[in-house]
């Protein structure tokens, strides 16, 4: 069951159950059976410290744990490892999306369109991103709200209050619409099997 709370122009979504991050990683990995080797660039204490300092945020522990235990997270998420120069590293993606410009509404000059507080956490396969909103930090959970954004000015109607709720929602959607052999396993872990 999903519970939505109205907040600004987006709904805040939370789930009614807590699934351990390691189980969520196992469910996600079940959807990618072709990935059997561990990711060569998992997060390290040094890489996380560098990211946190560069972006002036504190990456959520749940995101770091998921990226540390999932073998296949690199199919969807930005890299948090030592591969800073990789195209899909969170620092490179944040820098690249910061430079997106469009004509101002109503004509005139150019404007940068990514909200300054948004930090992309997925790879942006279709040039749309799920972003940590640095202006929406919950000190009680240590988590940032996660908001969909697509250039120039498109925002999703759903906001997730934690990374666990974000990835649970995605795993459920992917597994329900997938014909991959691991779909049943993933659905059983996230409570729809």
Chain segment 78-99, per-residue pLDDT in tens = 999 999 888 889 999 888 877 6
pLDDT of residue 111: 56
pLDDT for residue 106 is more than 70: no
C-alpha span between 34 and 141 (Å, rounded): 34
pLDDT of residue 2: 32
Under a CB-based contact definition with an 8 Å cutoff, are residues 102 and 150 in contact? no
pLDDT of residue 182: 83
Q: Tell me the sheet residues that pair with 89.
A: 79
C-alpha span between 135 and 77 (Å, rounded): 21
Among the listed residues 116, 130, 129, the one whose alpha carbon sits nearest the alpha carbon of residue 162: 130
Give per-residue pLDDT as tens, 141-151: 999 999 988 76
Higher pLDDT, 19 or 180: 19
Q: Quick one: average pLDDT of 186-190?
A: 87
Give the chain's domains with CATH numbers.
2-12+20-189 (3.40.1580.10)
């Amino acid at each position: 069951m999903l519970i939505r709370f109205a907040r600004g122009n987006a709904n805040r979504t939370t789930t009614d159950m807590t699934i351990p991050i390691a189980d969520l990683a196992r469910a996600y990995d079940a959807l990618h059976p072709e990935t059997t080797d561990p990711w060569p660039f998992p997060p390290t204490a040094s890489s996380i410290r560098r990211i946190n300092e560069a972006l002036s945020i504190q990456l959520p522990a749940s995101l770091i744990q998921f990226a540390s235990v999932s073998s296949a997270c690199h199919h969807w998420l930005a890299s948090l490892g030592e591969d800073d120069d990789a195209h899909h590293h969170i620092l490179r993606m944040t820098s690249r999306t910061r430079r997106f410009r469009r004509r101002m509404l109503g004509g005139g000059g150019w404007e940068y369109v990514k909200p300054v507080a948004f930090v992309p956490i997925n790879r942006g396969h279709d040039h749309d991103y799920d972003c940590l909103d640095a202006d929406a930090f919950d000190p009680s959970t240590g988590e940032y709200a996660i908001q969909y954004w697509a250039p120039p000015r498109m925002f999703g109607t759903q906001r997730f209050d934690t990374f666990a709720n974000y990835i649970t929602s995605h795993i459920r959607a992917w597994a329900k619409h997938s014909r991959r052999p691991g779909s049943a396993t993933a659905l059983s872990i996230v409570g729809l099997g």
